[in-house]
Amino acid sequence: MSHIKPLLHFFMISKVTIILLVLGVITCAESAYLTAEAKRSPRDLVDTLHNTLIVVMKNAQKLGFKGRYTKLAPILSETFDLSLMTRVSSGGYWHRASEKEKLALVDAFSKISISTYASRFTAFSGQKFKTIRVKDGPQATRLVETKLINPSGDNLELIYVVKRIDDKWRIIDVILDLGISELAVRRSEYRRILKSGGVRKLISMLNEKANQLTFGE
């Protein structure tokens, strides 16, 4: 029996060593990911979004709405700061909302945002995105000026407002042709709903709109 204790001791040490090694690998992987995230430039961020949009457009009919939604959800959550955009869109009502309402509002805002993209990019006929330039914007933001080039010549200018948040660049607004801010449009639209029914009414309306887009195709 005397030889069994050292053997058990060896296996216990080996198990602990393996766990520590695995944790070390995970930590290194997370560290590498965070480093890559920190190094990714505003241009890289927008290019990543655009590349995914082109893939979705090329496979739009095959994917269907739900497939496009599934494909777009992770990339939109990664490139946009949907939580910050929710807070800005809801204005002062955000601070009056309970934690449960805040979570529900961010979830509803995210759903309508992803659903909107899934309903917009439904076909491909040779379109391509082109990044024109990146310049400094107000309040420590970067403006990534791009263009959606259509074979028909009906091109669309898009300016992405990108801000470094928690050491990662994230899109916080998109400015369309003629300087129309999507975030400003949403804030104006949501203000009327918030005044009449508060945060709960806005949550309900956003979820309803997302469902309409989902089942409207």
Dump pLDDT digits (tens) for 68-87. Answer: 999 999 999 999 999 999 99
Q: What is the pTM for the complete model shown? A: 0.81
pLDDT at 151: 92
Are 131 and 158 part of one and the same domain? yes
Are 149 and 164 part of one and the same domain? yes
* Residue 86 · residue 111 · CB < 8 Å: no
pLDDT in tens, 174-202: 999 878 999 999 999 999 999 999 999 99
Q: Where are the beta strands (DSSP E) in 9-64?
A: none
Q: What is the CA radius of gyration of the chain?
A: 23
Are 205 and 147 part of one and the same domain? yes
Please name the residue that has the structure tokens 């928690």: 166
Provide the domain limits for residue 19: 1-39
pLDDT at 28: 44
Q: Total structural domains in the chain?
A: 2
Are 47 and 32 part of one and the same domain? no
**Distance between CA atoms of residues 169 and 45, nearest Å:** 7
Are 91 and 161 part of one and the same domain? yes
* Residue 163 · residue 172 · CB < 8 Å: yes
pLDDT in tens, 36-61: 555 679 999 999 999 999 999 999 99
Q: How far apart, in Å, do the first and last CA atoms of the chain sit?
A: 72
Are 62 and 105 part of one and the same domain? yes
**Which residues, in sequence order, are bridge partners of residue 80?**
171
